[in-house]
Homo-oligomer: A and B are copies of this chain.
Amino acid sequence: MKDKANAIVAQSGGPTAVINSSACGVIQAALKSGKIGTIYGATNGILGVLHEELFDIGAEIPETIEALKRTPAAAIGSCRYKLKSLEKSKADYERILDVFKAHEIHYFFYIGGNDSMDTADKLNKLAAGTGYELVCIGVPKTVDNDLAYTDHCPGYGSVAKYVATCAMEAGKDTEALYTTDTCTILEAMGRNAGWIAAATGLAARCSEDAPHLIYLPEIPFTLEKFVSDVKDVYKRLGRVFIVAGEGLKNKDGTYITADTGAFSKDSFGHIQLGGVAGILKTVIEKEVGIKARFNLLGTNQRSAMHFASLTDINEAYMCGEMAVKNALAGENGKMVTLVREKAKEYHCTTGLAELSDVANGEKKVPREYINQAGNGITEVMRNYVRPLVKGEAPITIGNDGLPVFMRFERKSVEKKLPQY
């Protein structure tokens, strides 16, 4: 690799509280190394590369770069643009290489999930085929925690801490007002993997504490079992607090939000629009006869910097930093992974996995992390998630009492190619 080659850092997919910490790790490590020329940010992930919308991210003032660690979402800009196979999306891949060539980009640091690792992998292979020197290193990111080959994903510890705390707090609300609002349902993100919902089990330090029931997409959902579970808790405590993963599925694998049988309009009214929580609320009111309400934290769960996990922030930074160090040490086509060391005290280091392996993997919540009844978690899950939520984010509070976040100045780099 020639000395002082340029680099691009980009972010992709759903934002998290700490994806900017990873970007900070990449940028600061690249600047510190003295071995990388200009480090560009690509506005809105791979879309920014395709449209040659780059800015000199290394030239932003150091305080702005440092403040990435305390700013949620994706400050460089993200996207959900999905590139297909090299054959089907050939024009896109070639355009990306053209942009790289035009700006002498030889390092590509892509912070994202499976799809991003797939894009980086294919790009890397295309470059190798054409003889263009390119180093692609992936940085893991997803609140869903479903990437394979890594103990956990940056972003997960923070969403776990926040949603578990929300379950604890809304649980206290239900406990206070159970004579009216007897049942509360909290819907957690995670379309195919129930890691976030499972993490809320940490909130229940005793059997009175919320959540009393947790449902994950990994366990087939049946109406009869659910109604029976709710009745049992109601009988025991006079109130019920439920956490439901957004991606609950029937026995045949159909999302219950899409089911036209047991949860059809005729049986339960037009309840599809409330999502999983809306369906469960209607089922409970109809079948158990108690009032239910639901909280849908939505994007607030993945952007909750104000109560992010310090462990998560630090690990996200480490992943970004190690991406640069590994790239400069000659690694290529890899994603940085988090490795939980076998020790009494939690200790996390980094490793590497093949981009192609990560692209094709998906890690669901293992059966032994879920209780026998399929409506709660086990000690194995608790031990897994507990260290990840520790420590509080050192946020900056303005003199108006609210957090202060950064925004890039974003000085555009002159385009050298025709419009795409």
One of A66-74, A96-104, A324-332, A359-367 at the interface: A66-74
Task: State which residues 263-310 of A face B: CB under 8 Å.
Answer: 269-271, 273-274, 278, 293-300, 302-307, 309
Minimum Cβ distance to chain B for residue A74 (Å)? 4
- Contact check, B170 vs A303: say whether CB atoms are below 8 A apart: yes
- Contact check, B300 vs A169: say whether CB atoms are below 8 A apart: yes
One of A115-123, A148-156, A174-182, A228-236 at the interface: A174-182
- Contact check, B402 vs A161: say whether CB atoms are below 8 A apart: yes
One of A25-33, A76-84, A333-341 at the interface: A76-84
Q: A140 to chain B: which residues have CB within 8 Å?
A: none
A14 to B173, CA, bound (A): 8
Q: A166 to chain B: which residues have CB within 8 Å?
A: 300, 304
Task: Convert A374-410 into 0s and 1s, putting 1 for each residue whose CB lies closer than 8 angstroms to a CB of B.
Answer: 0000000000001001111000011011110101000
A137 at the interface (CB under 8 A from B): no
User: Among the listed B169, B299, B311, which residue makes an inter-chain contact with A72, where contact means beta carbons less than 8 Å apart?
Assistant: B169
Task: State which residues 50-65 of A face B: CB under 8 Å.
Answer: none
User: Among the listed B208, B297, B307, which residue makes an inter-chain contact with A407, where contact means beta carbons less than 8 Å apart?
Assistant: B208
- Contact check, B401 vs A173: say whether CB atoms are below 8 A apart: no
Minimum Cβ distance to chain B for residue A409 (Å)? 13
A80 to B165, CA, bound (A): 25
A164 at the interface (CB under 8 A from B): yes
Q: A307 to chain B: which residues have CB within 8 Å?
A: 306-307
- Contact check, A298 vs B293: say whether CB atoms are below 8 A apart: yes
Q: A269 to chain B: which residues have CB within 8 Å?
A: 273
A44 at the interface (CB under 8 A from B): yes
A73 to B169, CA, bound (A): 8
A124 at the interface (CB under 8 A from B): no
- Contact check, A176 vs B73: say whether CB atoms are below 8 A apart: yes
Q: Which of A165, A208, A302 has the most CB of B within 10 A?
A: A165
What count of chain A residues pass the 8 Å CB interface test? 72
A168 at the interface (CB under 8 A from B): yes
Closest residue of chain B to A45 (Cβ to Cβ) is B179
Q: A297 to chain B: which residues have CB within 8 Å?
A: 295, 297, 300
Minimum Cβ distance to chain B for residue A196 (Å)? 15
Task: State which residues 186-200 of A face B: CB under 8 Å.
Answer: 186
Closest residue of chain B to A19 (Cβ to Cβ) is B176
A203 at the interface (CB under 8 A from B): yes
- Contact check, B170 vs A300: say whether CB atoms are below 8 A apart: yes
Closest residue of chain B to A293 (Cβ to Cβ) is B298
**A165-B403, A407-B208 known; A173 vs B47 contact (CB < 8 Å):** no
A202 at the interface (CB under 8 A from B): yes
Task: Convert A211-222 into 0s and 1s, putting 1 for each residue whose CB lies closer than 8 angstroms to a CB of B.
Answer: 000000000000
Q: A177 to chain B: which residues have CB within 8 Å?
A: 14-15, 73-74, 78-80
Task: State which residues 224-265 of A face B: CB under 8 Å.
Answer: none
A184 at the interface (CB under 8 A from B): yes
Q: A81 to chain B: which residues have CB within 8 Å?
A: 179
Closest residue of chain B to A281 (Cβ to Cβ) is B273
Listed in ascending order, the chain A residues whose CB lies under 8 Å from chain B are: 11, 14-15, 44, 47, 71-75, 77-81, 161, 164-166, 168-170, 172-177, 179-181, 184, 186, 202-203, 205, 208, 269-271, 273-274, 278, 293-300, 302-307, 309, 311, 386, 389-392, 397-398, 400-403, 405, 407
Of the A-B pairs whose beta carbons lie under 8 Å apart in the complex, a sample of 6, sorted by A's number, is: A73-B177, A168-B402, A169-B305, A170-B299, A295-B300, A296-B296
